[in-house]
Amino acid sequence: MAALVCERYGPPDVLKFAELPRPSPGKEQFLVRVLASTITSGDRRVRSMDMPQGFGTLGRLALGWHGPRQAVLGAEFAGVVEAAGARAKGFAPGDAVFGIRGFRMGGHAEYLCMSAGDAMAHKPEHLSFEGAAALSFGGGTALFFLRRAALLAGEKVLINGASGGVGMPAVQLACIMGAEVTGVCSAAHLDQVRLLGAARVIDYGQEDFTLLAPQFDVVFDVACNQSVERCLSVLKPGGRLIRLQAGLTEMCRAMLQPVRKGRRVIVGTAEERPDHLEYLGDLVRQGRFRPVIARVFPFEDAIAAHRYADRSGHGGSVVITMGAL
């Protein structure tokens, strides 16, 4: 099978195309023919080993010292079940599916295997494979943290980085939960974030949201370009701060001291859960949620797609449509 492989850390030019053996599903696994994948922030971090502060050595120990042990990147995917193991339940050959593999990666290849119980769900019927491929990472991450913060209807939430791969799903999901959303992003994406449901948008180039009066119940800091203390300053007493890209020192402090000045700091990594994907799929079927795609690249242009994804401000998921070279 054709695959895009990463054998050493670095810029997109370290990537290369290769022919790899097609995986064989185990008794409790499904073989999925991948039709679309994306380039998430996780893919870019693994490719470049550009980790949050303090995680460089830990990242190499976990993922590979000189290059990724899992050479095929691609955290999320959409495709069709090609075969099922004898004891694999929940899906059948021919089913259109989408899912996420996290740091196991593998989506930038023509085939991958998923085990029963992994984060995979049936694709919404009217949604393209490109759209389905862009559902899992941003939507699943935003849903996990908004639920962990116990966001309630009627609360006010500020999303810093509202036009990013996690920020745009977070805006939509917070609105679905009944919250009043303020989105912080660049001037180029103010209208886009407003159309996703934000009641108020802030151009970070013109206004510093950390100078606002304490008025928010939740701050979802996707961008993490402000200090914890400055983000806490705009929260009401009892408010919750979600920090998506916390460094090692910050993460340890948040675990040891989760409550500061009567406000809670939430850090960590999102769980990849099939029930979350089913929920997102149902929202798409109901017309209440949609993935946002910045650009679609054919598989033969996947290295160029990584270069594009490395640029900031593209405002949506970068999708690769799979196929043999």
Mean pLDDT per 10-residue interval, the chain, length 325 residues = 94 95 95 97 84 68 77 96 95 97 92 95 96 96 97 98 94 98 96 97 96 96 90 95 76 70 87 95 97 95 94 87 68
Measured CA to CA, the distance from residue 51 to residue 66 in angstroms comes to 14
Question: What integer pLDDT is reported at residue 124 of this predicted model?
Answer: 97
Give the C-alpha distances (Å, rounded to integers) separating 195 from 110, 138, 162, 181, 190: 35, 18, 12, 12, 9
Give the C-alpha distances (Å, rounded to integers) separating 254 from 42, 221, 248, 290: 22, 14, 10, 32
**35, containing H or E segment:** strand 29-38
The SS3 call for residue 50 is coil
Contact call for residues 290 and 139 (beta carbons, < 8 A): no
Question: What integer pLDDT is reported at residue 68 of this predicted model?
Answer: 87
- Count how many Cα atoms sit within 13 Å of the Cα of residue 261 in the half-sphere of its side chain: 14
DSSP code of residue 133: H
Which residues are CB-neighbours of 70 under 8 A, at least 6 positions away?
A: 63, 64, 103, 104, 105, 106
Measured CA to CA, the distance from residue 247 to residue 225 in angstroms comes to 12
Measured CA to CA, the distance from residue 255 to residue 253 in angstroms comes to 5
Question: What integer pLDDT is reported at residue 69 of this predicted model?
Answer: 86
Domain with CATH 3.40.50.720 in the chain: 138-266
Question: What integer pLDDT is reported at residue 59 of this predicted model?
Answer: 64
Q: Which CATH architecture has domain 2-135+291-321?
A: Alpha-Beta Complex (3.90)
Domain with CATH 3.90.180.10 in the chain: 2-135+291-321
The residue type of 36 is: A
pTM of the model: 0.92
Q: What is the CATH number of domain 138-266?
A: 3.40.50.720
Measured CA to CA, the distance from residue 25 to residue 16 in angstroms comes to 25
Residues listed for the chain: 325
What sign does the dihedral 87-93-95-101 (CA atoms) show? positive
